[in-house]
Amino acid sequence: MTLPLGYRYATLYAGIRKVAKDDLCLIVSDSPAFANLLLQPSLFGLHAVVAHRAV
């Protein structure tokens, strides 16, 4: 994954998917930044979650 300067990321397998591949990602800013999160609806029929928080 290519990110702008000042951002880092990590991925890992959290058991969300049945296939043992990375399925969770964390993106971190080295300086204060705005954050947005959008989760797509899943097979479980959950509604999309949208969060916004100023850091």
In a domain, 35, yes or no: yes
Q: For the beta carbon of residue 29, count every other beta carbon within 10 angstroms.
A: 14
Q: What is the pLDDT of residue 51?
A: 54
In a domain, 47, yes or no: yes
In a domain, 1, yes or no: no
Instruction: Please spell the DSSP secondary structure of 7-45, one letter per residue.
Output: EEEEEE--SSSSSSS--EEEEEESS--EEEEEE---TT-
Q: What is the mean pLDDT of the chain?
A: 76
Record the pTM: 0.52
Q: Is the pLDDT of residue 12 over 50?
A: yes
Structural domains in the chain (count) = 1
CA gap 41, 6 in Å, rounded: 30
Q: Is the pLDDT of residue 33 over 60?
A: yes
Q: Is the pLDDT of residue 48 over 60?
A: no
> How does residue 24 score in pLDDT terms, banded at 50, 70 and 90?
confident
List the domain range (segments joined by +) for residue 34: 7-54
In a domain, 18, yes or no: yes
In a domain, 50, yes or no: yes
